[in-house]
Amino acid sequence: MLMTTEKKDTINITGKTIIVIGLLLLLLAGTFGMFFLRSSPNNVEFVSAQPKSASGNMPEKCELPAGQEVNSWKEHLGHHAETQDCLKYFR
């Protein structure tokens, strides 16, 4: 009398495996997200590539200084009455 047992292929998924898979998916989504992002608030080149104004001339007092972040420059412009009109150039 010969008994044979069949082994079934099974995959054991533990909580640790689920966490690792979830982290890998987040990492993958984040990596692809960086490549598909078209603009960022800190992307100075994107803002400077926009049209300066309807007439094509941005006043010198409104121009973004080299090395300055756009958000901090906009905040600076908003604090001064004489430069608040410059905010329309940075949408």
Alpha-carbon distance of 90 to 53, in angstroms, equals 10
Between the alpha carbon of residue 51 and those of residues 16, 27, 44, 69, 85, the distances in Å are 51, 36, 14, 18, 16
Q: Hey, how many other C-beta atoms are within 10 angstroms of the C-beta on 78?
A: 12
- Residues 19-46 have a mean pLDDT of 76
Domain boundaries, the chain: 44-89
Helices (H) and strands (E) in the chain, counts: 3, 0
Percent of the chain scored above 90 by pLDDT? Answer: 15
- The pLDDT mean for the chain works out to 77
Three-state DSSP at 55 gives coil
- pLDDT tens-digit map of 48-60: 444 444 445 888 8
Q: Considering the entire predicted model, what is its pTM?
A: 0.38
67 Ramachandran zone, left/alpha/beta (phi>0; psi -120 to 50): left
